[in-house]
């Protein structure tokens, strides 16, 4: 990135900003200024339009023609009003339903008759009582009429004269102010109104989403324009406007060609350590697919390496390891390839990523010899079944992959430290890499039965060298005694940390084996139905479809979440990733 500073005469500033926005390449540096009410309102409008777009996109979108002249803001306002109306109707329906349930056992009654009795100072009182508690003597003691009997309960009405004392062991019900028929009519009218609103929502979804996108773009562009003004400093008694921003280095010529046609003074400079430089990731087609995964955590700081191309192959491998079934991988691959032709272009990269994950699942399923929960090693016709790895070997493989990623992360950390601060700052990490590799080669070789006794001198030299780098270059800015103390303290943290990180990779084996076992269990349960004559195949197929469908969902969920954790915790920590970068967003239309 290159930092540009502009000085523009105030009368020409608005025109300059308009042209700069059309150019669409400058990321404006935000100043610590409060935004005014106008900008707040614009940001609110953008947010409201986005909410309406998301709401409508969830509905059925039938192909239809639309009118470009329709006011997008009016559509947003109307949609919001209808959503609020729906909310009010829902609340009213809850109340009406309760009132209907109260009135229903008593049936319809005339409000006019009730009012006539009240003028004669005679009250209607409504009661409900358990059939066992109802006393026949009440009928002779009071003006009582049984209205209904439902589910062991008796519903009755008592006419109470003025100042008459009524003692009845029953629950009194406060009746609605409207008749049952009126309540039911209101309820039905509300349902009709809801249906009309829902149809109108579907109509909006079919006709106006593209218009809403355009409207949001216009409002956003206008908001960005006012924000650009807000981030401008006034100099020389407000006669000169001062603006700063960033552009990618490859766009320098295009920007300066534009600036040379303007009445503007400008300066360019390389970023300094104190600058908050925006981040624009640049990756090949494969690594670019994994950028959304990396962005779930954080963008890298400008001074450090982008870890996306480094964790991408590992993430793909981890996903396949966790699912670990060739059949499941085939379903994923076929489904994503078919769906790629039926989704919006913006969604295709996600399906391409899923295709790669499906390929990884197929490969790891072949390594473990698993196909829809079946162990391929049990079939005689499989010629290469000796190549399948047994569960214990899969366990060792998971740990070995974890060790490789940890060491790889430490190599990246050393490269980052050298790039940012200088060679001596990476020596301590190089020492740890040397120590781990030495132990792996010599201890692992000894366990594997390889005789490395003749290389004991080399082993001793490497151990002394690595320990020297760890203890003496832990912090090159401090003296030797401080380094020794810090080195010993950090050694404890590093050893326990690496050991804990290594154990975390066992989850790859655990998830893979659990997925295989669950698939096998569904196969065994389903196969029992084949003993039923004639129709046993039907529950057999249904149980296989439901069981393996559920297993694929659970396996894929775990295969996404746990590699995510291994990437963001174990790998990022050992790679010394700091993050905190802010995305490059050019001031544009």
Q: What is the DSSP string of 438-480?
A: HHHHHHHHHHTT---GGGHHHHHHHHHHHHHHHHHSSSTTS-H
What are the CA-CA distances from residue 50 to residues 115, 209, 545 (Å)?
53, 10, 38
Cα 569 from Cα 508, distance rounded (Å): 15
Backbone angles phi, psi at 424, to 5 degrees: -65, -25
Cα 295 from Cα 284, distance rounded (Å): 16
The pLDDT-based confidence of 227 (bands split at 50, 70, 90) is confident
Token pair, residue 202, equals 């579907």
pLDDT for position 65 = 59
Q: Is residue 560 part of a domain?
A: yes
Averaged over 353-368, what is the pLDDT? Answer: 92
Token pair, residue 213, equals 């996108």
**Distance in Å from the first CA to the final CA of the chain:** 21
Query: Are residues 511 and 559 in contact, defined by beta-carbon separation less than 8 angstroms?
Result: yes
Domain boundary among 150, 178, 206: 178
Cα 522 from Cα 544, distance rounded (Å): 7
Supply the DSSP string of 540-584, one letter for each residue. Answer: HHHHHHHHHHHHHHHHHHHHHHHHHHIIIIIIHHHTT----B-B-
Sequence-distant (≥ 6) Cβ neighbours of residue 109 within 8 angstroms: 179
Cα 439 from Cα 447, distance rounded (Å): 11
pLDDT for position 479 = 67
The pLDDT-based confidence of 202 (bands split at 50, 70, 90) is confident
Token pair, residue 119, equals 């003028």
Among 120, 113, 111, 130, residue whose Cα is nearest residue 160 = 120
Token pair, residue 146, equals 């049984």
Quote the number of domains for the chain.
2
Q: Is the pLDDT of residue 347 over 60?
A: yes
- Number of Cβ within 10 Å of residue 586's Cβ equals 20
**Do 290 and 149 share a structural domain?**
no
Q: Is residue 67 part of a domain?
A: no
Q: Is the pLDDT of residue 382 over 80?
A: no
Angle at 202 between CA 197 and CA 206, to 5 degrees: 145
3-state secondary structure of 22: helix
Compare 374 and 477 and report the one with higher pLDDT: 374
The pLDDT-based confidence of 332 (bands split at 50, 70, 90) is very high
Query: What are the pLDDT digits (tens) for 138-167?
Result: 988 889 999 999 888 999 999 998 888 888
**Do 289 and 165 share a structural domain?**
no
What is the helix, strand, coil percentage profile of the chain, to 5? 65, 10, 25
What is the pLDDT of the chain when averaged over all its residues? Answer: 87
3-state secondary structure of 235: strand
Q: Is the pLDDT of residue 27 over 90?
A: yes
Which secondary structure element, helix H or strand E, spans residue 311, and what is its range?
helix 308-323
Q: Is residue 186 part of a domain?
A: no
Among 399, 313, 388, residue whose Cα is nearest residue 357 = 313
Q: Is residue 34 part of a domain?
A: no
The pLDDT-based confidence of 78 (bands split at 50, 70, 90) is very high
**Do 314 and 436 share a structural domain?**
yes
**Do 300 and 159 share a structural domain?**
no
pLDDT for position 495 = 79
Q: Is residue 41 part of a domain?
A: no
**Do 412 and 535 share a structural domain?**
yes
Domain boundary among 160, 178, 196: 178
pLDDT for position 157 = 92
What are the CA-CA distances from residue 488 to residues 145, 304, 406, 417, 467 (Å)?
92, 27, 21, 20, 10
**What range defines the domain where residue 114 resides?**
109-178
Q: Is the pLDDT of residue 64 over 60?
A: no
**Do 328 and 475 share a structural domain?**
yes
Query: What are the pLDDT digits (tens) for 86-97?
Result: 999 999 999 999
Comparing 189-193, 338-342, 355-359, which segment has the lowest mean pLDDT?
338-342
Cβ burial 400-428 (10 Å sphere, 16+ → b, else e): ebbbebbbbbbbbbbbbbbebeeeebbbb
What are the CA-CA distances from residue 4 to residues 22, 186, 236, 271 (Å)?
17, 66, 20, 10
Comparing 59-63, 433-437, 556-560, which segment has the lowest mean pLDDT?
59-63
Cα 477 from Cα 424, distance rounded (Å): 10
**Do 551 and 424 share a structural domain?**
yes
Q: Is the pLDDT of residue 116 over 60?
A: yes
Cα 71 from Cα 16, distance rounded (Å): 29
Compare 343 and 249 and report the one with higher pLDDT: 249
> In this prediction, what percent of the chain has a pLDDT beyond 90?
34
Q: Is the pLDDT of residue 579 over 90?
A: no
Q: What is the pTM of this model?
A: 0.75
Query: Are residues 265 and 13 in contact, defined by beta-carbon separation less than 8 angstroms?
Result: no
Residue with tokens 């006011």: 71
Q: Is residue 189 part of a domain?
A: no
**Do 488 and 344 share a structural domain?**
yes
Token pair, residue 221, equals 């562009």
Domain boundary among 152, 178, 204: 178
Backbone angles phi, psi at 78, to 5 degrees: -65, -40
Q: Is the pLDDT of residue 448 over 90?
A: no
Cα 372 from Cα 521, distance rounded (Å): 11
Secondary structure of 54-96 as H, E, C letters = HHHHCCCCCCCCCCCCCCHHHHHHHHHHHHHHHHHHHHHHHHH
Token pair, residue 152, equals 């062991």
**Do 567 and 436 share a structural domain?**
yes
Q: Is residue 49 part of a domain?
A: no
Sequence-distant (≥ 6) Cβ neighbours of residue 555 within 8 angstroms: 322, 323, 324, 325, 328, 511, 515
**Do 420 and 300 share a structural domain?**
yes
Cα 390 from Cα 377, distance rounded (Å): 10
Q: Is residue 272 part of a domain?
A: no
Region of 579 please: left (phi>0), alpha (psi -120 to 50) or beta: left
**Do 290 and 172 share a structural domain?**
no
């Amino acid at each position: 990135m290159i930092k540009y500073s502009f000085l523009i005469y105030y009368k020409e500033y608005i025109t300059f900003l308009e042209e700069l926005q059309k150019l669409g390449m400058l990321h404006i540096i935000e100043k610590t200024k409060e935004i005014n009410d106008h900008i707040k309102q614009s940001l609110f409008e953008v947010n409201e339009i986005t909410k309406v777009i998301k709401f409508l996109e969830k509905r059925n979108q039938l192909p239809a023609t639309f009118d470009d002249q329709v006011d997008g803001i009016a559509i947003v306002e109307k949609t919001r009003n209808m959503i609020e109306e729906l909310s009010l109707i829902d609340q009213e329906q809850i109340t009406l339903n309760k009132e209907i349930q109260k009135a229903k056992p008593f049936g319809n009654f005339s409000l006019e008759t009730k009012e006539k009795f009240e003028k004669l100072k005679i009250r209607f009182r409504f009661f409900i009582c358990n059939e066992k508690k109802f006393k026949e003597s009440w009928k002779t003691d009071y003006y009582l009429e049984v209205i209904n009997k439902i589910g062991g309960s008796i519903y009755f009405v008592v006419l109470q004269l003025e100042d008459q004392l009524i003692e009845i062991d029953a629950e009194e019900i406060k009746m609605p102010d409207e008749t049952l028929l009126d309540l039911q009519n209101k309820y039905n009218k509300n349902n009709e109104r809801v249906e009309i609103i829902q149809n109108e929502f579907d109509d909006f979804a079919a006709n106006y989403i593209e218009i809403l996108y355009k409207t949001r773009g216009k409002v956003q562009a206008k908001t960005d324009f006012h924000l650009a003004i807000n981030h401008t400093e006034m100099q020389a008694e407000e006669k000169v406007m001062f603006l700063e921003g960033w552009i990618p280095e490859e766009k320098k010529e295009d920007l300066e060609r534009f600036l040379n046609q303007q009445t503007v003074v400008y300066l360019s400079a390389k970023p300094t350590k104190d600058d908050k430089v925006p981040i624009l990731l640049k990756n090949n087609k494969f690594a670019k697919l994994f950028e959304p995964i990396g962005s779930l955590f954080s963008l890298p700081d400008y001074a450090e390496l982008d870890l996306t191309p480094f964790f991408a192959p590992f993430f793909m491998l981890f996903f396949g390891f966790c699912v670990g079934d060739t059949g499941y991988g085939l379903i994923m691959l076929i489904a994503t390839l078919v769906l790629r032709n039926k989704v919006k272009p913006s969604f295709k990269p996600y399906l391409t990523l899923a295709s790669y994950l499906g390929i990884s699942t197929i490969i790891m399923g072949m390594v473990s010899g698993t196909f829809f929960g079946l162990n391929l090693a049990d079939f005689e016709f499989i010629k290469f079944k000796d190549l399948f790895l047994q569960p214990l070997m899969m366990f060792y493989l998971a740990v070995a992959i974890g060790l490789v990623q940890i060491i790889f992360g430490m190599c990246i950390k050393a490269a980052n430290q050298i790039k940012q601060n200088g060679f001596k700052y990476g020596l301590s990490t190089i020492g740890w890499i040397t120590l781990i590799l030495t132990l792996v080669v010599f201890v692992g070789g000894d366990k594997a039965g390889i005789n490395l006794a003749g290389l004991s001198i080399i082993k001793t030299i490497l151990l002394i060298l690595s320990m020297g780098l760890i203890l003496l270059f832990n912090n090159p800015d401090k003296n030797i005694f401080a380094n020794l103390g810090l080195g010993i303290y950090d050694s404890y943290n590093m050893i326990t940390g690496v050991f804990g990180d290594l154990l975390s990779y066992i989850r790859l084996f655990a998830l893979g084996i659990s997925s295989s076992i669950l698939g096998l269990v569904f196969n065994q349960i389903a196969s029992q139905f084949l003993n039923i004559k004639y129709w046993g195949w039907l529950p057999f197929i249904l149980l296989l479809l439901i069981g393996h469908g559920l297993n694929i969902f659970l396996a894929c969920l775990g295969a996404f979440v746990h590699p995510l954790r291994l990437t963001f915790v174990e790998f990022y920590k050992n790679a010394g990733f700091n993050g905190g970068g802010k995305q490059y967003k050019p001031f544009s239309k």
